[in-house]
A = this chain, B = another copy of it.
């Protein structure tokens, strides 16, 4: 097996350290120590510590955005789409928890140039979710009395907050969490008479 490049080792170590101690709680020297490398090695691979932070942000949001688009395109009903996005996003916690934590905790420290780039992609992501809900309301799948913007944010909130408490080795598996969250969301937004539990459940089991 090919050894990991220093660049990747730096990213992995930073992710881990930033997650626990925060961007400003971790010095470049600490990262170097962790990767058994040197200042030279670090600055050979990254223009600055800020650029490293940006890279981590971008890697995650780019991935999330791609997956959300994919989920939108490969499904037809709003219920399926929302379920797929929720499902995907929670599954990602097992792979990208550090990225996500850094993303939501440290983005204030992004330099303005970087910040702009990230903001754009974030907005795009939110738009997709918003659109799914909007279309669901219009098609009659979802309860019409719900203001779409607030509902969107409530869903984003409950999912995103997971990074604050989820532990890979905790008592709740990501699959359990996914099932419960999906159930809660379905109950809160889908019309009662449109809620075909069997079907939704089936949909999930076969997609896991």
Contact = CB atoms under 8 A, between A and B. Distances in A.
A177 B147 CA distance: 9
A95 interface: no
Given A146-B180, A160-B161, A188-B187, A22 B153 contact: no
Given A108-B105, A154-B181, A149 B172 contact: yes
Nearest to A154: B158
Contacts of A145: 183
A89 to B, nearest CB: 12
B108 A184 contact: no
A189 interface: yes
Main secondary structure, interface of A, reads: helix
Interface residues of A, number: 41
B161 A180 contact: no
Contacts of A162: 153, 157
Candidate in A23, A157, A192 with the most chain B CB atoms within 10 angstroms: A157
Contact of A183 (B21, B105, B146): B146
A108 B21 contact: yes
Interface in A181-208: 181, 183-185, 187-189, 192
Give the residue among A158, A162, A189, A192 with the most B Cβ atoms within 10 A.
Answer: A158
A91 to B, nearest CB: 15
Given A22-B108, A25-B108, A108-B21, A180 B154 contact: yes
A184 to B, nearest CB: 4
Interface of A: 20-25, 104-105, 108-109, 145-147, 149-151, 153-162, 164-165, 171-172, 176-177, 180-181, 183-185, 187-189, 192
14 contacts: A22-B24, A22-B109, A24-B109, A150-B172, A150-B177, A150-B180, A151-B180, A151-B184, A154-B184, A155-B158, A157-B159, A157-B161, A157-B164, A160-B164
Given A147-B180, A150-B176, A158-B158, 10 more contacts: A22-B108, A146-B180, A154-B158, A154-B184, A157-B158, A157-B162, A157-B164, A160-B164, A187-B187, A187-B189
